Amino acid sequence: MAVSLGMRVSGLLVVGAVAVAVAAFTGGGTGTPDRGGGHGTIVTVGPSDGSRSAASPLPPVPRQSPAGEAGPTALPSTPGHTHRTTAPPTDTSPTPSPTHGNSLLLSPAWLPPGPVSPDADSTPDPSGVYDELRDPEQCRAALDVVPAASADPQWRVVRALATACLAVQGRGGSWDGAAEEYTGLAGKTDTCKGRAAYAVLGGLLDFHRLHPGATVRLHASGGTPACAYRVAGVDTGGDGEAQPGDPVAIELRDICFDPSELPRFGNVFIGGQQLAGPPVQRARAGDRLVLSAVVPSLGGYPRSVDVVVRYGTTEARLKDAFTVVAPAALPSPGVPSGSPQGVLPLGPLPAHLPGP
CATH code where residue 263 lies: 2.60.40.10
Whether residues 198 and 268 fall in one domain: no
d(CA 178, CA 175): 5
Residues 210 and 257 in one domain: no
Residue 284: give the domain boundaries. 230-324
Q: Which of 210, 227, 244 is at the close of a domain?
A: 227
165 and 262 in one domain? no
pLDDT at residue 220 tops 50: yes
> Helices 153-168 and 192-210, interaxial angle, to 10°?
30
137 and 176 co-located in one domain: yes
Would you say residue 299 lies in a domain?
Answer: yes
Residue 135 and residue 177 in one domain: yes
* Average pLDDT over all residues of the chain: 76
- What pLDDT band is residue 103 in, cutting at 50, 70 and 90? low
Please check whether residues 174 and 265 belong to one and the same domain: no
- Of 131 and 26, the structure prediction assigns the larger pLDDT to 131
Calpha distance 133→88 (Å, rounded): 55
- The answer to whether residue 336 is domain-embedded is no
Residue 331 pLDDT level (bands cut at 50, 70, 90): very low
- Among 287, 297, 292, 299, CA closest to 277: 292
Tally of domains in the chain: 2
Question: Do residues 156 and 261 share a domain?
Answer: no
Three-state SS at 18 = helix
CB 308 within 8 A of CB 315: yes
Side chain identity at residue 80, one-letter code: G
Residue 161, in any domain of the structure:
yes
Residue 219 and residue 276 in one domain: no
DSSP string, 116-171: ----TT----HHHHHHHHTSGGGHHHHHHTS-TT---HHHHHHHHHHHHHHHHTTS
Domain end, chosen from 227, 249, 270, is at 227
Q: Are residues 310 and 245 in the same domain?
A: yes
> Is the domain of 130 the same as that of 219?
yes
Strand duo 314-324 + 241-242: pairing? parallel
> Is the pLDDT assigned to residue 281 strictly greater than 60?
yes
What confidence tier does 16 reach under pLDDT thresholds 50, 70, 90? Answer: low
- Whether residues 215 and 306 fall in one domain: no
Highest mean pLDDT out of 12-26, 194-208, 342-356: 194-208
Strands 267-270 and 273-274 turn out to be antiparallel
Statement to judge: residues 198 and 255 lie in one domain: no
Which of 194, 227, 260 is the last residue before a domain boundary?
227
pTM higher than 0.95: no
